[in-house]
Amino acid sequence: MSQTGITSESKPASASRRLWFVVPCFNEQEILPTTVVRLKQTLNELVDTGLCDQHGSGLLFIDDGSTDQTWLTLQNAAHEHTCVKALRLSRNRGHQTALLAGLLDVVNRADCCISVDADLQDDLGICAQMLMYWLQGLDIVYGVRRQRTVDTFGKRLWASLFYRLSPLFGLEGIHGHADFRLLSARVLKAIADYPERTLYLRGLIPLLGFNSATISYERQRRRQGSTKYPFRKSLSLAIDGIISLSAYPLRLIAWFGLCAALSSLFAMLGLVARYLMGGTVHGWTSLMVVIVAATGVQMLALGVIGEYLSRIYREVKRRPRYHIQDRIGV
């Protein structure tokens, strides 16, 4: 457990302590009944210990355009438990957008919120510690996995590679942190000021600069259902994170271009020197290798530029990030 920037201030005992759990979900009909029960039990325990208020607190689920019975399951849960509220997006917009929809929905109703995935692989037992840090004056508390033993070898390798390389691209991420975190009300309001369509909350939130702490925990195995983050989506999320928060790939292209230009200059000087000394230049194969390599670098550069242009195109059009189709209790 580590912490940074803890202030001497703390929340007054009489201050409002409305806590909302924000839970994005996509095709989670199998595990949702268990998730609702466990989250409600956790909320009741936090209320009993005085860490949050019963009135004004609750569970907010965001159905990210599920194609199974997720929405019907949430309707039944809301009828059974008054603390359960839900939003239904009109179509699947991705985990980060669904999470943002939930955060923006509670921005005026929560004094703090805890975002957690519907599979509940994250340890709810540290929520009390998160709230204690918040009551001491911190605005962000990150839940950080100690190990990734429950993930496949490929996923562990990819995650480790991304977290190690992300600082080289200027990303201020938290190693081992996903989206299990506590956010204060003023952090929620700060997030609402960011209008971009390409979202990477794991990198955006550390950029806000508010006082924060980290709490380590052991990630559990998924009990039901399947992961909603296969390699393709993980790769897409990583690309979004790098491009939305860093211009380093564009600078890298410039450095590649400079190195290629210098290499060409030296090669040209060498060829001229050989010609003046009466040497002949042979090597059709070597020439083709150089052409193919140069073409590959150019296509890679155009691809990176295209990724930036496509995101600029989305930002310029200013289309809504999502549409809410239905609401339950909100």
Taking only the tens place, the pLDDT of each residue in 8-24 is 457 766 578 999 999 99
Identity (one letter) of the amino acid at 295? T
Identity (one letter) of the amino acid at 57? S
Q: What is the mean pLDDT of the chain?
A: 82
Query: What digits encode the pLDDT tens for the residues 107-131?
Result: 999 999 999 999 888 999 999 999 9
Query: What digits encode the pLDDT tens for the residues 200-245?
Result: 888 888 888 899 999 999 887 766 556 655 666 666 766 776 777 6
**Range ranked top by mean pLDDT from 68-72, 118-122, 279-283:** 68-72
Residue 307 banded pLDDT, cuts 50, 70, 90: confident
Q: What is the pLDDT of residue 8?
A: 43
Return the percentage of the chain with pLDDT > 70, whole number.
73
Q: Which residues contact 214 (CB under 8 A, 6 or more apart)?
A: 1, 2, 3, 141, 142, 143, 144, 174, 177
Please state, as a whole number, how many other Cβ atoms lie within 10 Å of the Cβ of residue 44.
Answer: 13
Q: What is the pLDDT of residue 33?
A: 94
Buried b (16+ CB within 10 A) or exposed e, 3-32: eeeeeeeebeeeeebbbbbbbbbbbbbbbb
CA 328/CA 48 separation, integer angstroms: 26
Q: Which residues contact 208 (CB under 8 A, 6 or more apart)?
A: 140, 187, 190, 191
User: Is residue 62 scored above 60 in pLDDT?
Assistant: yes
Q: What is the pLDDT of residue 6?
A: 47
Range with the lowest mean pLDDT among 75-79, 176-180, 242-246, 279-283? Answer: 279-283
Between CA 109 and CA 111, with CA 110 as vertex, the angle to 5 degrees is: 130
Residue 27 banded pLDDT, cuts 50, 70, 90: very high
pLDDT, average across residues 288-315: 75
Handedness of CA 247, 249, 255, 258 (dihedral sign): negative
Return the percentage of the chain with pLDDT > 90, whole number.
43
